[in-house]
Each structure stands twice: as C-alpha cells, then as structure tokens.
C-alpha cells in the first residue's frame, strides 16, 4: 500500500534517497490537494515526518528535501539520532509522539520542541516543573484516547476539558492543541470529528491527527498537522508506537 515500501523481493529496509525526496513531494502534494478540497489553504496543514525506526541517513535525505518537522516515539531512540543531526544546525522542530514516562521527562524536555502525548496531570506537572528548571518548555498537545482503547495512551474524552484547564490555567503550559490516534479497525472520521469538537469547546487551535492511512480524511476534519511515516520513509522493520503502544523504552 505505502508507495515507499520495499517490494517483497527487496531486502533493503530503506528506500533509496531519491525515493524519500520523491515521497515527500508526493505527500506534500496530497496534503495540499486535501486542504484545497476542504476549502483550506495549503499552509493550514503542517507535515510531521515520522522517522521512528529509520536511521539518521534517511532523516538527512528528508532534511535535504526541505523537511523540518519530525516525529519520534521513543526518547531513547531519538537521543541516539537527533543530537548529531542538530549539531549540524538545521532548524528542525522535533515532536515526541509516543508515550512518555515520568522518569524520562527531563530527557524529553531537553530534546523535543513539542510533546504531543500529555495525557495525565502527573505528567503535565512534571513537564511544567522540569521545564522551568531547564529553562525550556516544549509546546504541548493533549493526547485524547477517542476510542477508549484500554491498551492505548491518552486521556478519555470526558477528562480532557479538566486536563486542558489544569495544563493551561494552573500549570501555565503552552497547550497548542489535541492529538489522537484512532482505533485501527474503526472509521477514523468519527474520531477526528470528536477531537475537533473537544478542541473547539476548549478554544484550542491545533489538531494533530492523521497518519499515512488516513491523513486526507483528517485534513477534511480540520487537522492542522499530520504525522506521516510510512508514506515518506517506507515500511518500518517492526511494529511500534501507534499500533502497539508498547511505547517507551524498557
């Protein structure tokens, strides 16, 4: 399905460099078309290229093709890849899109520009206090478990308003918006519509929703950023993050 994925006979896990640039251009065109179709300007939707499980070499190809927003789902993996890239000075914006454990908050705050997976008061409080200590507070998205899946991270929709208030009004965190990962076996549009409604009633402007399989629908429902991995970098060597929520490093 994913245009960048290797053929069955091809043992190489990575697409060729040119292919990453080609994939990026195609994804950008698809985003612009979906936005136009929804009557939204093309620049209303930003692209977070999800580079989890892919090597620094692949990331550099995306950078060479002009990509600046990236997503990783594990703190430890990101620490192994991004400091060397950042040392070269590109103005990247790095998003944490996987579950965050309390004991990795300091490392996450140091490395990431945006944390999309805030889903509980304890975690929010830790980000606020450690962020102050570090003099660096990332942008925040609240992750909502719109499908009420027991194995998935995210706050249930019912608890979201209270968590937004806590983060924004009591902790002073820069809450930019909401993020969700719809259940794999359900029509995603219902989840996108629900996330949009929760954001609307909380006065939040940004919606991080939509992945390789469903980003055009997400854009139709108001996504302001889409998180796309497979369509850019090809298939990953093993299941991670979005599918399993096995999540953070052990």
Residue ranges in contact with ligand PLP by CB under 6 A: 50, 52, 73, 97-98, 181, 211-213, 227-230, 241-242
Residue 20 or 181: the one with the smaller Cβ distance to ligand PLP is 181
In the complex, least distance from residue 247 CB atom to ligand PLP, rounded to whole angstroms: 9
Cβ count near 128 (within 10 Å) = 20
CB of 20 to ligand PLP, least distance (A): 13
Work out how close the CB of 69 gets to ligand PLP at its nearest, in angstroms, rounded to a whole number.
12
Q: Which is nearer to ligand PLP, 171 or 178 (CB)?
A: 178
First and final C-alpha spacing in the chain: 31
Task: Judge contact between 119 and 155, C-beta under 8 A.
Answer: yes
Closer by beta carbon to ligand PLP, 63 or else 97: 97
Taking the least distance from each CB to ligand PLP, the nearer of 97 and 223 is: 97
- Cα distance between residue 154 and residue 242, in whole Å: 12
CB of 190 to ligand PLP, least distance (A): 18
184-221 as b/e: b if 16+ CB within 10 A = eeeebeebbebbbebbeebebebbbbbbbbbbbbbbbb
User: C-alpha angle 72/160/127, rounded to 5°?
Assistant: 50
């Amino acid at each position: 399905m994913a245009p960048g994925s290797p053929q069955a006979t091809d043992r190489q896990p990575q697409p060729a460099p040119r292919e990453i640039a080609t994939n990026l251009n195609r994804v950008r065109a698809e985003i612009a078309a979906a936005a136009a179709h929804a009557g939204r300007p093309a620049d209303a939707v930003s692209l977070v290229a999800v580079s989890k499980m892919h090597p620094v070499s692949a990331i550099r190809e995306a950078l060479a093709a002009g990509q600046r927003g990236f997503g990783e789902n594990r703190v430890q993996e990101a620490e192994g890849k991004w400091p060397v890239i950042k040392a070269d000075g590109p103005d990247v914006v790095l998003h944490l899109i996987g579950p965050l454990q309390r004991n990795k908050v300091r490392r996450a705050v140091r490395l990431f520009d945006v944390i999309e997976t805030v889903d509980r008061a304890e975690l929010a409080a830790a980000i606020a206090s450690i962020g102050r200590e570090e003099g660096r507070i990332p942008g925040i998205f609240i992750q909502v478990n719109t499908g009420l899946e027991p194995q998935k991270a995210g706050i249930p929709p019912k608890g979201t308003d209270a968590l937004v208030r806590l983060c924004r009004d009591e902790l002073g965190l820069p809450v930019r918006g909401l993020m969700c990962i719809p259940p794999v076996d359900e029509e995603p549009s219902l989840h996108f519509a629900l996330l949009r409604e929760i954001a609307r009633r909380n006065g939040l402007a940004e919606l991080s929703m939509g992945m390789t399989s469903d980003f055009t629908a997400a854009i139709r429902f108001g996504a302001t950023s889409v998180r796309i991995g497979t369509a850019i970098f090809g298939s990953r060597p093993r299941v991670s993050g979005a599918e399993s929520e096995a999540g953070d490093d052990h």
